[in-house]
C-alpha cells in the first residue's frame, strides 16, 4: 500500500508545483468521533499524499509518533500545531527549542535507531543511506520533503505536512498569513530608482547562492539583483565566488549567513583585503543573519525577509 | 637544529665528481618561466584590467582607485603567495625524494597533509573565527597539525626501526596519516555545517588574508628553502646508497633529519595558508629530472623556479576558468599536471627514470 520509488524522491530539484492531495478513502460513514489524541485532526484519515518526488504515501491514521529528520520540516510541524505529535527530531533540528532533539542524523540516517522510536510517520529532507527503502520495509510511512526551490514549494510542504498530521486548517492559515506578510514586505520595498545589488555569503570561503536557489528566489521577490547570478553558467546554484569579482561587483547590500559557522560580521568583512572599497561596507549595509534561518525553507523565512527588507528600505532612504 | 652544519667528509667532492651542475641555460629558462607566469598571473583575472593599468599600478602610477584596490589588495598578493607555495611544495618534494630515495615521496609523505587537514578541520568546526595573537586560528592549527604528524611519524619510525632504514619512517608516516585522516573524517561527519569550508580547505585555495599571509609564511619558506638548497650536494651523495656514504663519514641520519625538518617546516607553512594542494611536489621535480637532469644541484634550484611558475599558472586558471566563480586549485594542479607529466614521460621515453 505504500508505493515509493526509491531514488526519485532524493532529487532535490524536483518542483512541488503539481502537488496534489488525493483522498482515496472518502468513507461515507465518517460522521463518527474523531480519533482521540492531543489535538483534533482537521484531516480525515486514511489519507494519501503525492510527494514532491511523485511517490504516493498513504497514512492510515493520525500519526502520534512523528520522527522528523529535517530541520525545516521540524519548524513547519511545530508551526502548524503538530509539535505534540513529534517524538524525536534529528541532531540539526534546533528550533523551536521545545523540539525533542535526539542524536538521530538526517545526513547519515540509521534505520535501526529511527525504528527504535516506533514512529508512525517519518519526515526527511532527502533519501540517503537507503532511508526510504528501510522505512518501507518496516511499514512506516515516510514523507520526503526536499529543499524548497521557492516560496510556493514551502507553502506546499507546509500544507502537505498539515494533511499528513491532521492539521490541515492550521497549515492553511499559516500559509495564508505567510502569503500576506510576504505581500506587505514586497510592497514595503517600493520600486527603487536603481537596481540594488546583493551579495549573500554562505561561509568565509565566499560560497554564495544564485537565483536558482530558495534563498536566491527570496532576493528576487524583493527585487534585488544577485551578483552571484553571473556565475550561473559554471555553477548553477551555489558558486564559490572569486573575491576580485565580489569587490568589483560593488554590492549595495551584503547578507552574512555565516554569523554562526564562521563568526563573520561587518568588522571581519571590512578587515578583508580590499573589501573596504565595497559600497555595502562603506555605508554599513552588511547584515548578519542567523545561518539556520537563512539555510532552511520553513516559516521563519519571513523573519529573514523582514531583516533584508528593512535594509533595502534604508538603502532607498539613503538614495533618496 | 636547523643551524647544525653538516661536516661533509673530505671524500664528498671526489664522490660527486662527474655529477652535472646546473647549466645557465636551464637557470635562465626557469627564471623566464617564473617571470612569464607571474606576468600572466597579474594580467589575467575575473575582473578585466588592462595591461597598461597593471604596469602603471606596479610602478606606482596613478590608476583608478577601484582597480588599484583589486590589484594591490587581491591580485598581487595572490600571485606572490602562489610563488611561495608552489616553490616550497616543489623543493620540499624534491628534498623528500632525495632523502628517502623514493620517487613517490612528496611533501605530504610523512603525514603533513593529514595533520594539517585535521588541525584545520578541528579549528573550523570547534573554534570558528578565533584568532591567536592576531593570526587566524585555522592556519595556525594546520601548521601545528602538520608538524605534529611528522614529528609523530619520526618518533614512531625511530622506535621501530631505529632509523636505520627509511622504510620504517615512511610506514610510520603512512600509519599516522591514516589515523589522522580517520579522526578528520569523523569530525567532518559530525560537524556537517562546516563541511563546505573543510572541503574548500582540503582542495586548496590561495584566497586568504592577502599580504598578511605572505608575511606570515615568508620566514619559514625562506629558511626551509635555504637549508634544502645548502644540502643539494649531500642529496646527490645520498643517491650513492646509505652504506657507501656512511663509510665515507657522511652522517646520513643527521642529514636526513635536517632535510626532513626543513622540508616539513616549509610544507607546514604553505599548507597552512593554501590548503593541501596536491601533486606539485611530485610532478615538478620529476619533470625537471626528465628534462634537465637528475642531479640535485639541478633539481633543487629548478624545482623552486618551475614549482612557483606552475602554481601561479594553476591559480590563474583556478580563478578564471569558471569566472566569476572559482575552482579549487588542487583540482587544477592534478588535472593539468597529470597529462603534462605523462606527455613528458612519453616524449623522454622515461629513460631518465
Chain B contacts in chain A segment 89-128 (CB below 8 A) = 92, 107-108
Mean pLDDT of A123-133: 91
User: Which one of A235-239, B97-101, B179-183, B320-324 scores highest in mean pLDDT?
Assistant: B179-183
Nearest chain A residue to B193, by CA: A261
- Whether A21 shows a pLDDT value over 50: the answer reads no
pLDDT digit string, tens, across residues A58-112: 999 999 999 999 999 999 999 999 999 999 999 999 999 999 999 998 888 999 9
The pLDDT value recorded for residue B104 is 81
- Asked whether the beta carbons of residue B200 and residue A231 sit closer than 8 angstroms, the reply is no
- Whether B288 shows a pLDDT value over 90: the answer reads yes
Mean pLDDT of A253-278: 92
pLDDT digit string, tens, across residues B145-204: 999 998 998 888 888 765 556 778 888 889 999 999 999 999 888 877 777 788 888 888
- Whether B227 shows a pLDDT value over 70: the answer reads yes
State chain B's mean pLDDT as an integer.
85
Residue B40 C-alpha, separation from nearest chain A C-alpha, in angstroms: 16
The pLDDT value recorded for residue B99 is 87
pLDDT digit string, tens, across residues A169-190: 999 999 999 999 999 999 988 7
The pLDDT value recorded for residue B59 is 86
The pLDDT value recorded for residue A26 is 33
- Asked whether the beta carbons of residue A248 and residue B209 sit closer than 8 angstroms, the reply is no
- Asked whether the beta carbons of residue B65 and residue A240 sit closer than 8 angstroms, the reply is no
Mean pLDDT of A115-135: 92
Chain A environment of B126 (Cβ under 8 Å): none
- Whether A243 shows a pLDDT value over 50: the answer reads yes
Residue B324 C-alpha, separation from nearest chain A C-alpha, in angstroms: 5
Chain A environment of B68 (Cβ under 8 Å): none
pLDDT digit string, tens, across residues B233-243: 888 888 877 77
The pLDDT value recorded for residue B350 is 54
- Asked whether the beta carbons of residue A247 and residue B201 sit closer than 8 angstroms, the reply is no
The pLDDT value recorded for residue B161 is 64
Residues B220-242 as b or e (16 or more Cβ within 10 Å = b) = bbeebbebbbebbbbbbbbbeeb
B191 or A136, which is more confident: A136
- Please give the Cα distance from B326 to B324 (Å, whole number): 7
SS (H, E, C) chain B: CCCCCCCCCCCHHHHCCCCCCCCHHHHHHHHHHHHHHHHHHHHCCCCCCCHHHHHHHHCCCCCCHHHHHHHHHHHHHHHHHHHHHHHHHHHHHHHHHHHHCCCCCCCCCCCHHHHHHHHHHHHHHHCCCCEECCEEHHHHHHHHHHHHHHHHHHHHHHHHHCCCCHHHHHHHHHHHHHHHHHHHHHHHHHCHHHHHHHHHHHHCCCCCCCHHHHHHHHHHHHHHHHHHHHCHHHHHHHCCCHHHHHHCCCCHHHHHHHHHHHHHHHHHHHHHHHCCCCCHHHHHHHHHHHHHCCCHHHHHHHHHHHHHHHHHHHHHHHHHCCCCECCCHHHHHHHHHHHHHHHHHHHCCCCCC
Chain B contacts in chain A segment 261-280 (CB below 8 A) = 261-264, 268, 272-274, 277
Amino acid at each position: 500500500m505504500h508505493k515509493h520509488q526509491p531514488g526519485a524522491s532524493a532529487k532535490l530539484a524536483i518542483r512541488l508545483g503539481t502537488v496534489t492531495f488525493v483522498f482515496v478513502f472518502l468513507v461515507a460513514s465518517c460522521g463518527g468521533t474523531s480519533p482521540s489524541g492531543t489535538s483534533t485532526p482537521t484531516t480525515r484519515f486514511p489519507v494519501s499524499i503525492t510527494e514532491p518526488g511523485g511517490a504516493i504515501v498513504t497514512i492510515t491514521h493520525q500519526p502520534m509518533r512523528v520522527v522528523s529528520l529535517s530541520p525545516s520540516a521540524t519548524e513547519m510541524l511545530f508551526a502548524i500545531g503538530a509539535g505534540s505529535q513529534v517524538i524525536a527530531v534529528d541532531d540539526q533540528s534546533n528550533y523551536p527549542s521545545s523540539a525533542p532533539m535526539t542524536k538521530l542524523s538526517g545526513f547519515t540516517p540509521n534505520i535501526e535507531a529511527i525504528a527504535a522510536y516506533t514512529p508512525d510517520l517519518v519526515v526527511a529532507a532527502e533519501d540517503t543511506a537507503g532511508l526510504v527503502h528501510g522505512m518501507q520495509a518496516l511499514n512506516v510511512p515516510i514523507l520526503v520533503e526536499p529543499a524548497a526551490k521557492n516560496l510556493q514549494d514551502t507553502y506546499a510542504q507546509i500544507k502537505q505536512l498539515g494533511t499528513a498530521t491532521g492539521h490541515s486548517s492550521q497549515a492553511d492559515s499559516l500559509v495564508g498569513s505567510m502569503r500576506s506578510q510576504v505581500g506587505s514586505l514586497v510592497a514595503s520595498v517600493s520600486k527603487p530608482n536603481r537596481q540594488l545589488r546583493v551579495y549573500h555569503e554562505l561561509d568565509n570561503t565566499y560560497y554564495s547562492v544564485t537565483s536558482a536557489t530558495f534563498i536566491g528566489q527570496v532576493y528576487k521577490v524583493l527585487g534585488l539583483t544577485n551578483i552571484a547570478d553571473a556565475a550561473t553558467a559554471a555553477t548553477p546554484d551555489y558558486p564559490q565566488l572569486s573575491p576580485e569579482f565580489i569587490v568589483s561587483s560593488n554590492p549595495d547590500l551584503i547578507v552574512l549567513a555565516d554569523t554562526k559557522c564562521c563568526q563573520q560580521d561587518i568588522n571581519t568583512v571590512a578587515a578583508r583585503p580590499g573589501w573596504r572599497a565595497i559600497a555595502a561596507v562603506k555605508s554599513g549595509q552588511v547584515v548578519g543573519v542567523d545561518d539556520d534561518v537563512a539555510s532552511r525553507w520553513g516559516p521563519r523565512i519571513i523573519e529573514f525577509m523582514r531583516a533584508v527588507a528593512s535594509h533595502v528600505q534604508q538603502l532607498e532612504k539613503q538614495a533618496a | 637544529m636547523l643551524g647544525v652544519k653538516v661536516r661533509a667528509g673530505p671524500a664528498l667532492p671526489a664522490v660527486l665528481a662527474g655529477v652535472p651542475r646546473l647549466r645557465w641555460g636551464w637557470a635562465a629558462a626557469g627564471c623566464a618561466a617564473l617571470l612569464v607566469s607571474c606576468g600572466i598571473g597579474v594580467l589575467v583575472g575575473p575582473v578585466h584590467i588592462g595591461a597598461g593599468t597593471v604596469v602603471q599600478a606596479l610602478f606606482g602610477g596613478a590608476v583608478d582607485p577601484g582597480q588599484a584596490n583589486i590589484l594591490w589588495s587581491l591580485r598581487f598578493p595572490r600571485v606572490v603567495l602562489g610563488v611561495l607555495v608552489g616553490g616550497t611544495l616543489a623543493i620540499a618534494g624534491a628534498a623528500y625524494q632525495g632523502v628517502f630515495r623514493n620517487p613517490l615521496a612528496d611533501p605530504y609523505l610523512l603525514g603533513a597533509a593529514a595533520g594539517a587537514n585535521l588541525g584545520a578541520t578541528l579549528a573550523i568546526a570547534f573554534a570558528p573565527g578565533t584568532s591567536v595573537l592576531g593570526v587566524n586560528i585555522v592556519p595556525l592549527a594546520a601548521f601545528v597539525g602538520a608538524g605534529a604528524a611528522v614529528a609523530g611519524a619520526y618518533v614512531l619510525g625511530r622506535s621501530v626501526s631505529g632509523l636505520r632504514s627509511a622504510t620504517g619512517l615512511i610506514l610510520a608516516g603512512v600509519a599516522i596519516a591514516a589515523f589522522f585522516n580517520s579522526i578528520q573524517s569523523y569530525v567532518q561527519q559530525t560537524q556537517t555545517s562546516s563541511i563546505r569550508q573543510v572541503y574548500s580547505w582540503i582542495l586548496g585555495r590561495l584566497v586568504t588574508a592577502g599580504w598578511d599571509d605572505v608575511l606570515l609564511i615568508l620566514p619559514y619558506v625562506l629558511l626551509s628553502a635555504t637549508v634544502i638548497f645548502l644540502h643539494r650536494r649531500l642529496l646527490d651523495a645520498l643517491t650513492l646508497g646509505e652504506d657507501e656514504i656512511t663509510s665515507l663519514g657522511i652522517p646520513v641520519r643527521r642529514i636526513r633529519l635536517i632535510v626532513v625538518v626543513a622540508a616539513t617546516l616549509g610544507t607546514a607553512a604553505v599548507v597552512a595558508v593554501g590548503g593541501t594542494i596536491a601533486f606539485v611536489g611530485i610532478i615538478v621535480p620529476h619533470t625537471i629530472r626528465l628534462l634537465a637532469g637528475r642531479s640535485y644541484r639541478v633539481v633543487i634550484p629548478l624545482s623552486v623556479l618551475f614549482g612557483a611558475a606552475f602554481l601561479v599558472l594553476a591559480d590563474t586558471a583556478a580563478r578564471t576558468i569558471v569566472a566569476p566563480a572559482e575552482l579549487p586549485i588542487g583540482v587544477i594542479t592534478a588535472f593539468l599536471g597529470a597529462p603534462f607529466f605523462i606527455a613528458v614521460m612519453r616524449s623522454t621515453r622515461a629513460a631518465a627514470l
